[in-house]
Amino acid sequence: MKVLVVGNGGREHAIAKKLLESTRIKQVFCVPGNGGTATTEGCQNLPLNIDDFQGMERFVMVNNISLVIVGPELPLSLGIVDYFQQKKLMAFGPTQAGAQIESSKSWAKELMLEAGIPTPKAAVFTNPEAAKAYVVEQGTPIVIKADGLASGKGVTVATTVKMALSAINTIFRGAFGTDNIRVVVEEYVTGQEVSILALTDGITVEPLLPAQDHKAIGEGDKGANTGGMGAYAPAPIITPELMERIQTEILEPTLVALQKRQIDYRGVLYAGLMITAEGEPQVLEFNCRFGDPETQAVLSLLETPLEDLLLACCQQRLGEFSSNIRWKEGASVCVVLASGGYPGSYQKGKTITGIEEAEAKGVEVFHAGTQLKQQQLVSDGGRVLGVTAVGETLQQAIAKAYEAVDCIEFEGVYCRRDIGRRALVDKN
């Protein structure tokens, strides 16, 4: 079968490469793809935009594509799955109605409260002065969130009132969009963040391995939020007992709440959790797609053919895999190499070297912000590469990943050197 993957990040490169491990997959096309998908055997990039639904439809029809897999949240929020469903074509991902769980934090918060899902207290504002007054009343630390899509950069953990007010001003100035601006002001909770990527066919919901993302730009989780500087899986803080609670107290009630709203949600239900010091899971946010860079770590450990799971979601057959998704032993870690200056301003077009040497160390290098220009690989984004290693233990995976990281060079390259350390510290 032939598959079309929508997106151009590390997540999409990881999905494409995982699909190509299967003898069932003949070819993967990527819209628009990146330098990695351009150079991966069995992959081909298409010069289309992720919101060109008609262009993708024509290609799917002419080339007999069996399945469209949507990576990023933006086309999901614009209704790409609805469009393909109307054309009787199979696409993996929730409809526009379901994608609201990510495209509107206030909508998601309302859904959680309605379903009785544990989540920090929050208030939603359409007026900046009212939001500021609430912050002054509540005090800090406090969390300020842009309501809509913000590529992982719309959340500020404000430790001072001044910082909170500045974040509110930034949102209302239109930094994350100018339509229907809302801000969510949320209670600050402490603990360990964990990503639970679950698959659902609208009836059954099956969690994949728990992963832990590292959102802050700086080591020790300091500095501005990014789209993610690295991840590892499985996250040991999620015990089998805690995963069972997450299944029964969070994932299943969320699916029921979506059903009550007449939303047939098929795709990824990604719960961003905080595990408090008392071991209680609280939902910080929901996303409607695979996480990035969590996907790179999680899929590296997946043994069940990915296309089997995604087709089962589309065809409402996920129950066939109930508690029977197969995984490799060991652990996986993904270290993101970013452009200097990210998540602020950064330069593109920097020549990248050393990927072959890195992969000779036994890792996979997933491309994110890269482009192939005149057969030369150059940087083309903030997060450039994701060096991903699997080991018998997390310590081995970390050591292997950083040994490979040191082979890769481009001007201004930056990475965190503490990806996965939280698990090792807590273990000791």
Domain boundaries, the chain: 2-96, 127-181, 192-321, 331-426
Q: What confidence score (pLDDT) does residue 428 get?
A: 46
Which run of H or E residues covers position 184? strand 183-187
**pLDDT-above-90 percentage for the chain:** 94
Judge whether residue 383 has pLDDT over 80.
yes
Confidence of residue 422 (pLDDT cuts 50, 70, 90): confident
Question: How long is the chain?
Answer: 428
Q: What confidence score (pLDDT) does residue 425 get?
A: 74
Over residues 369-397, mean pLDDT: 97
Integer Cα distance of 364 and 367 in angstroms: 10
127-181 to CATH, choices 1.20.1250.20, 3.30.1490.20, 3.40.250.10, 3.50.50.60: 3.30.1490.20
Amino acid identity at 416 = R
Number of Cβ atoms within 10 Å of the Cβ of 224: 13
Which run of H or E residues covers position 122? strand 122-125
Over residues 271-286, mean pLDDT: 97
Confidence of residue 426 (pLDDT cuts 50, 70, 90): low
- Please give the residue that has the higher pLDDT: either 84 or 176: 84
Q: What is the CATH number of domain 2-96?
A: 3.40.50.20
Which run of H or E residues covers position 131? helix 128-138
What digits encode the pLDDT tens for the residues 36-46?
999 999 999 99
What digits encode the pLDDT tens for the residues 3-30?
999 999 999 999 999 999 999 999 999 9
β-pairing, 27-32 vs 2-7, is parallel
What digits encode the pLDDT tens for the residues 186-201?
999 999 999 999 999 9
Q: What is the CATH number of domain 192-321?
A: 3.30.470.20
Q: What confidence score (pLDDT) does residue 145 get?
A: 96
Q: What confidence score (pLDDT) does residue 162 get?
A: 97
Over residues 172-183, mean pLDDT: 90
**pLDDT-above-70 percentage for the chain:** 99
- At the topology level, CATH places domain 331-426 in Glycinamide Ribonucleotide Synthetase; Chain A, domain 4 (3.90.600)
Confidence of residue 427 (pLDDT cuts 50, 70, 90): low
Mean pLDDT score of the chain: 96
